[in-house]
Chains A and B, each alone.
Chain A
Amino acid sequence: MAGVESAPPRPPVRWGFLSPLARGQYLALAWVQTRMFINSLRTRRGSVEFGAHILTFLVFGAIAIGPAFGLGFGAWVAVSHGRVLGISVLLWVLFLAWQFFAALAPALAGQNPELSHLLRYPVSFGSWLLLFLVYGLAAPSTLIGLLWAAAIGIGITVARPDLFLATVLTLVVFVLFNLLLSRMILAWIERWLAQRRTREIVTAIFLFLALGAQALNPAFHQSRQSRFYGIQPQKVMHLSQRFWNIQRVFPPGLATDSIMQATMQHHGLQGAEELGWLGFYTLGAGGLLALRLRSESRGENLSEAPRPSSRSRTREKLGSRALLDFSGPIAAVFEKDLRYLLRSGPMLYNLAAPLVMVVVFGGAMRGSSMSGIRLQYALPFGMVWAFLGLTRLICNNLGMEGDGIQFFFLSPTPLRTVVLGKNLLHLVLFLLEAAVISALVIFRFGVPAPSVAAATLAWLLFAVPANFAVGNLLSINMPYRVNMARIRRETGAVGNGLTSMLTQLGILVVGALVIAPCAFLGHPWLAVPILLLLAAISLFVYLRILGNVDRMVLSRMESLTLEIMKTT
């Protein structure tokens, strides 16, 4: 360009997560997040989402506060009475609950934040890692974990103020370890689920563990019962001692030992060796997380990896067989969505997680001293879990279309046909999940009374159309884009998630309000006709909503397209 000055040489840039460039980037991101938040409040949807965030925070806070008091009181009692083993138990509870919920309950796991959009900027890996952790801090599992850890710390410090420093140091490292471990587990699971072969292996391990736990439960309970009759107290002491020794090499045990050393030495800084080992575990978890994120920061695509071109030279006319060998738009939508699900590890994971919950809680219910009457209702409770696995799909049934959503608006197929195809797929998935859960429940608790089984069936006839009716409304009015390759809560999902959970709760309450009084009055069969009447009403409502889908979509087409096609 004639007459244009040459650009001055650029000064060298210092990289690193605390460099001036990085600090500027953090400020820019904080600013943009703030702006996005403020701008989002201009829309009705944004305000609802914000309200839902607050409500969710309050609900989780309410749920977590009780155990927090329990843990704090337990820590106070344990330290006051010199029973340090109690601290170990409390830290194990904290550790297991944190990791278990983070891995198995997506709503609690929160976000493994999607930061790939930052890759186009000169963001160093250190900054990227830091941002990943900071963005993930708001996960409910992290907040609950922090609250519980603080409660344990307060309990210990109130009992022994001189342990304040040791307790704080140990708990900070322990919390950091839990945070890194939960993020690391989720990040690696996502990676494994992204490819078909590893997905199959993970699924096999998942099922093996679930069935193994199921099979072990009776044996465990038998041995627990026989403990009081057959096993000698010395043997019990011996087993406890062995367990105590083994658990000491794991993070909760190391944290306990770190605090215990301080207790015995009457100094605030004893237990440095245990703390060091705990730090070593933390570094290990952080290292494995960094290893995973390093690939992502280099632009790794978590979607199904293409085969190398040399292997795909074999030319095939059509890439794969038809899953459903009949034509028609409903079958086409059914098949497309089924393929999407089968190719999405995270979605399959979401579907399988409630099954594991049923196994675990089933074991707990069986082990507890619940009465036979309450155990009879394990089947309807199991059905509620079956719905939970499908809630994301039912209540956001257009969310996984991405750019493809436009196709439905361009095609000559009425939207109600598309939605019906999706509802049918979700019905089939629900029936499969319900069948597996029924089998598990019957295996664990025996066949329920005919009246309970009939009431459950009648309740399902009410609950299924009711779920689909509300789900279709939410899918049109509160949609959000779903990333099929990631286990994460998406932007805009809180309002939808909260509303769908409240719906599930409402449907459950309706069932309980019918079944419980009838059972209490000694006429359990009376619940069946009442629920069938409700089923007819909910089917009518579902059909009305389905009939109006095209009109509703037409009125919201622009915002629907924006919500589902948006990339960040």
Chain B
Amino acid sequence: MDSPAIVIRDLTRRFGKFTAVDNVTLNVAAGQFFGFLGPNGAGKSTTIKMLTGLLAPTSGYIELLGLDFATHALEIKRQIGVVPEGLALFGRLTASEYLRFVGRMYGLDRDTTNRRTGELLDFMNLADEPKKLVTDFSHGMQKKLALAAAVIHGPRILFLDEPFEGVDAIAAGTLKAMLQRMTERGATIFLTSHVLEIVERLCSHVAIIHQGRLVANGSIDALRAGVAASLTGPQPDEKLTLEEIFLRIVSGSGSGTAEEAVQELSWLA
């Protein structure tokens, strides 16, 4: 791998006195399937927003594909695709109208846009209801459409915020295959998800952010080895899952276990 696709240095974002992202430094190599993990409110979405230009950092440096985001925002946006938290869909268009619109906004010519629109709708199984408006789509269908829109221009980096949430198992399998093929062809994928099994299966490298700070970063094997080395007493027979790694790293902050919390809610049926 040559130069990193994503370079983040001392990235900080404050909202008043609250620091959502605190001095995060991170490199993601080109062609990597990268998982960005963290509990709710850890700063994942804020970081993605800053990386995609939806939010200005308070301080720090972002470089994507060798270009400084502060000075080359539009050129970078031309080469990245994003499925943001809110999906950013236009509800009163049909799926094909929306994809054609997005293609034109990315500067694709008419023929390319139309061809890719048809291919993506077929691929995502969205072509059966050509007159249905996006607002009437199920959440899973909207997610697939958002993903189609994020890749229509052939991005070199793809940012995905919870891409598999609400997507059925068959579609999720197809999407995973598509994303893996993209990384094989050199695209970089930056993924956040709470479904750690999926992250473990897809990603080669992960970073964990907690309370705005980066608390772990590296290949899954390296993190596993690190956590295993920190364990006192007998080593487990089976290798640690990503979920166990994640919980061990994050629960170092002192929050109680889930079972303890449920015991408190005795009024629940």
Residues of chain A having any CB pair with chain B under 8 Å: 1, 3-7, 301, 303-307, 309, 312-313, 315-320, 322, 325-329, 331-333, 335-336, 339-340, 343-344, 401-407, 409-414, 484, 554, 557-558, 561, 565
Contact B86 A340 (CB under 8 A): no
Write the nearest CB–CB distance from A308 to chain B, whole angstroms.
11
Taking CB atoms, residues of chain B closer than 8 Å to A325 are: 110
Which of the candidate stretches B99-107, B173-181, B192-200 sits at the interface with the other chain? B99-107
With A4-B266, A306-B136, A410-B82 known as contacts, the answer to whether A403 contacts B92 (CB < 8 A) is no
Residue ID in chain B nearest A314 by CB atoms: B130
Give CA–CA (A40, B87) in the complex, Å.
Answer: 27
CA distance A211 to B15 in the complex (A): 57
Residues of A within 8 A of B117 (CB): 318
Q: Is the CB of B132 within 8 A of A312?
A: yes
A70 to B: closest C-beta gap in Å: 45
Residues of A within 8 A of B55 (CB): 557-558
Complex CA gap A5/B264 in Å reads: 11
Closest 3 CB pairs of A and B: A319-B130, A332-B104, A406-B88
A-B pairs with beta carbons under 8 Å apart, 12 shown: A7-B269, A307-B132, A317-B96, A318-B100, A319-B96, A319-B131, A320-B94, A322-B110, A325-B110, A326-B110, A407-B90, A410-B84
Q: Which of B20-28, B71-79, B220-228 contacts A (4 or more CB under 8 A)?
A: B71-79
B75, B110, B131: which has the most chain A beta carbons within 10 Å?
Answer: B131
Q: What residues on A are CB-neighbors of B132 within 8 Å?
A: 306-307, 312
Bound: A307/B117 CA distance, A = 22
- Are B86 and A406 in contact, with the CB atoms below 8 A? yes
| A320 engages B130 (CB within 8 Å) | yes
Contact between A403 and B86, CB atoms less than 8 A apart: yes
- CB pair B56 A402 closer than 8 Å: no
Q: How far is the CA of A303 from the CA of B102 in the complex (A)?
A: 23
CB-CB nearest in chain B for A414: B74
| Docked-complex contact B131 and A411, CB < 8 angstroms | no
The complex places the Cα of A405 from the Cα of B91 at a distance, in Å, of 11
User: What's the least CB distance linking B147 to chain A, in Å?
Assistant: 14
User: Would you call A404 and B88 a contact (CB within 8 A)?
Assistant: yes
Q: Does B109 reach chain A (CB closer than 8 Å)?
A: yes
B residues within 8 Å of A by Cβ? 52-56, 74-75, 77-78, 82, 84, 86-97, 100-102, 104-110, 113-114, 117-118, 121, 127-133, 135-136, 149, 262-263, 265-269
| Interfacial chain B residues near A312, Cβ < 8 Å | 128-132
Report whether A407 and B88 are in contact in the complex, using a CB–CB cutoff of 8 Å.
yes
The answer, among A326, A410, A413, A565, for a CB contact under 8 Å with B53, is: A410
Inside 8 A of B84's CB, which chain A residues have their CB?
406, 410
Give Cα A1–Cα B84 distance, bound, in whole angstroms.
37
The answer to whether A410 and B88 touch across the interface, beta carbons within 8 angstroms, is yes
Nearest chain A residue, comparing its CB with the CB of B113: A327
Chain A residues within an 8 Å CB radius of B131: 306-307, 312, 319-320
Cross-chain contact A336 with B94 (CB below 8 angstroms):
no
Contact B127 A317 (CB under 8 A): yes
Residues on A with beta carbons closer than 8 Å to the beta carbon of B130: 312, 315-320
Give the distance in Å from the alpha carbon of A565 to the alpha carbon of B85 in the complex: 12
Q: Given A340-B93, A557-B56, 5 more contacts at CB 8 Å?
A: A4-B262, A6-B269, A312-B129, A319-B130, A320-B94
B109 → A minimal CB distance (Å): 6
The docked-state distance in angstroms from the alpha carbon of A335 to that of B105 is 12
Contacts A4-B268, A313-B128 hold; do A412 and B77 have CB atoms under 8 A apart? yes
Within 8 Å CB of A322, what residues of B?
100, 110
Query: B90 — which chain A residues lie within 8 A by C-beta?
Result: 336, 340, 401-402, 404, 407
C-alpha gap A115/B73 in the complex (Å): 40
Query: Known: A317-B118, A402-B91, A412-B78. Is A329-B105 also a contact (CB below 8 A)?
Result: yes
**Nearest A residue (CB) for B82:** A410
A312 closest partner in B (C-beta): B129
Given known pairs A406-B86, A409-B54, A557-B56, the reply for A309 and B129 (CB within 8 Å) is yes
Residues of B within 8 A of A306 (CB): 129, 131-133, 136
Residues of B within 8 A of A320 (CB): 94, 96-97, 130-131
